[in-house]
Amino acid sequence: MTVRTIIEYPHPNLRLVSAPVTVFDEKLKELIRDMFETMYQSQGIGLAAPQIDIQKQIVVIDVSEDHSQPLVLINPKITRREGSTAIDEGCLSVPLDYRAKVDRAEKITIEYFDEDGARQQRDADDLLAICMQHELDHLQGKLFIDYLSSLKKGLYDKKLEKYRRYKRKAENAKKSEHA
Q: What is the pLDDT of residues 75-88, one digit of tens each?
A: 999 999 999 999 99
87 lies in the same domain as 57:
yes
Query: Which amino acid type is present at position 152?
Result: K
Domain co-membership, 74 together with 59: yes
Contacts of residue 60, defined as CB under 8 A and 6 or more positions apart, other chains included, come to 32, 35, 36, 39, 46, 47, 70, 71, 72, 73
Per-residue pLDDT reduced to its tens digit, 148-159: 999 999 999 999
Q: Are residues 126 and 160 in the same domain?
A: no
Do residue 85 and residue 111 come from a single domain?
A: yes
94/111 same-domain check: yes
Same domain assignment for residues 48 and 109: yes
Q: Examine residue 3 and state whether it is found in any structural domain, yes or no.
A: no
Residue 6: inside a domain: no
Residue 89's nearest CA partner among 129, 50, 59, 60 is: 129
40 and 95 inside one domain: yes
Catalytic residue among 135, 161, 171, 177: 135
Q: Judge if 179 and 140 occupy the same domain.
A: no
Does the pLDDT value for residue 178 go beyond 80?
Answer: no
Note whether residue 82 is domain-resident.
yes
Q: Is 73 helix (H, G, I), strand (E, B) or coil?
A: strand
- The answer as to whether 117 is a domain residue is yes
Domain with 62, as residue range(s), is: 12-148
Please check whether residue 168 lies inside any domain of the structure.
yes
Query: CA-CA distance, 129 to 178, in Å (whole number)?
Result: 50
Q: Report pLDDT for 176.
A: 82
**Catalytic site includes residue 135:** yes
One domain, residues 128 and 166: no
Closest Cα to residue 161, out of 10, 6, 7?
Answer: 10
Q: CA-based Rg of the chain, rounded to a whole angstrom? A: 17
Judgement on whether residues 114 and 174 belong to the same structural domain of the protein: no
Question: Based on the domain organization, do 89 and 174 belong to the same domain?
Answer: no
> Is there a single domain that holds both residue 140 and residue 154?
no
Domain of residue 39, CATH code: 3.90.45.10
pTM: 0.94
The pLDDT of 11-29, averaged and rounded, is 98
Q: What is the pLDDT of residues 24-39, one digit of tens each?
A: 999 999 999 999 999 9
DSSP for 108-175? Answer: EEEEEE-TTS-EEEEEEEHHHHHHHHHHHHHHTT--GGGGS-HHHHHHHHHHHHHHHHHHHHHHHHHH
For the chain, what is the domain count?
2
Residue 67 domain-assigned (yes or no): yes
